[in-house]
Amino acid sequence: MKTIIAKRIWLAESDLRLDASYHLSDGQLTLIAFKKSNIPTKPLKNVTDRIFYGGRSRRIYVNSPEFGLPFIKGADIIKADFSNLKYISRKRTPNLKEYFLEEGWTTITRSGTIGNTAYINKDFMGKAASDDIIRVIPKSIPSGYLYAFLSSKNGKALLTHGTYGAVIQHIEPEHIENLPVPIFPTQQQQTIHDLILESANLRVEANKSLEEAVNYFNNRYSDKLIPTTKVFNKSINDLTFSWASYNNNIECDTIESQIGSDKLTIDEIATDVFAPPLFKHIYLTKDNGHPFLTGGELTQNNPRYYRYLSPKGVKNILDYKVTKGTLLLYKSGTTDGGILGNVFIVDDNLASACLSDHVIRINIPDLKLSYWVFAFLKSTAGIRLLQKLATGTMIPFITPERLKRLVFPKPNEDFDTVVNHVSNYLEKRVLANNKENQAIQLVEKEIAQWQQ
């Protein structure tokens, strides 16, 4: 139970709100802590050059990067992978420069799931961004420090804190311009900023390593592929388990032909391919539960645990825990830019976490072979082959049984090169996330001392 003794002035400032949920909200408690502390604060507008959102116009999408720019929507800014972005027309998008982002900015989602933040690094360059993303340009404080504060539980609570406790559907720049930013001692700000900057650079290096691993397979099997053919002819004798067009994709025939006889199937190398049964979700505090992520949260650049699963609600809790090197596949979703066909791999931070029953696990005992398969399945050819396995009309899904039959190229003379790229990707990704988390924890720890 949480309790607090409300002061008369709080009631006046809240339009005589008497409900405890408002006065005990994280946003309100953060404001109280700021008022009680000796640390000075400044309105966000006073420590920034500009708070705004980008261009707003009708979006015309194109299929080719030759005629368009990758387009980042609000939900994309926290994703680890920009490979599935749609392209917005260069020619038919007015004021295109207003869509771009710059290094060192902090971005904030202003609709949908509001208050999500991202620190802009080199991976965002050359891409257009939605007007659903607020841009914050730092001025008098280090950019990394500002990002760490806005990404902390205190900063996010203030971003989403309504004056009267109402459910916020969206935020505008003017809603957050007076948000109080604590001004830590200069050295403390610099330490936090340096950690965020190191994290941003490591993340770019990690993604570069993954790109090199994936491009190895793109150059061999996907370089001549065209966008999926919608209408084609095929002999009835060549149809697979279904008559649906995407289960008989002729581009997939080309890929399998290119792989040839030097191939293996998932079933030949995996000890298990499965999705656990449905279970009752009972969440506990951190000290008493197992960290838990949904399938959608796997897409995030730096997923942070805020749910902890009770073992009492799950019959076999070990079936839901994952180990390093395990490949993960969300088993349902759309094949048009959705999560279906997107593969993830368990790193050191994700190991021993519990995952949703919507996630298929592929356990490959040989860690290097798991890295090889991961890189192939992240390639255009791998994604096409995965999506070919889908079934269902409204929401396509993949079954573990069909996944076992998926083919991939045997390891060859380039095996170690690809494996090293994936290993480097995982190592730097973990280090990047750890440094970002360390910076945010320094902010949260300092503010927590004011609340005691």
User: Tens digits of per-residue pLDDT, 162-200?
Assistant: 544 455 577 889 989 999 999 999 999 999 999 999 999
Q: What is the dihedral of CA 202, 205, 207, 208, to 10 degrees?
A: 180
Rounded to an integer, what distance in angstroms lies between the CA atom of residue 387 and that of residue 396? 9
Place of tokens 């395990």: 326
Q: Which domains does the chain have, with CATH numbers?
A: 43-183 (3.90.220.20), 204-429 (3.90.220.20)
C-alpha–C-alpha distance, residues 419 and 389, integer Å:
26
Q: Whole-structure pTM over 0.85, yes or no?
A: yes
Answer whether 145's CB lies under 8 Å from 186's CB.
no
Predicted confidence (pLDDT) at residue 410 exceeds the cutoff of 90: yes
Most confident of 296-300, 337-341, 440-444: 440-444
The one-letter code for the residue type at 164 is: Y
pLDDT at residue 329 tops 80 = yes
Distance, CA of 164 to chain centre: 31
Give the pLDDT confidence of 194-218 residue by residue, as tens digits.
Answer: 999 999 999 999 999 999 999 999 9
Quick: pLDDT tens for 274-283: 998 887 778 8
- Measured distance CA(214)–CA(260) in Å, rounded: 19
Chain CA centroid to CA 103, Å: 19
Which of residues 228 and 118 earns the better pLDDT score?
118
User: DSSP assignment, residue 229?
Assistant: P
pLDDT at 165: 43
- 191's CB contacts (< 8 A; 6+ apart) are 442
Dist. CA 297–CA 305, nearest whole Å: 10
pLDDT in tens, 2-51: 666 666 555 545 544 555 555 556 667 777 778 777 789 999 999 999 99
pLDDT beyond 70 at 102:
yes
pLDDT in tens, 50-100: 999 887 778 888 988 888 999 999 889 999 888 888 899 998 888 888 899
What pLDDT sits at residue 164? 42
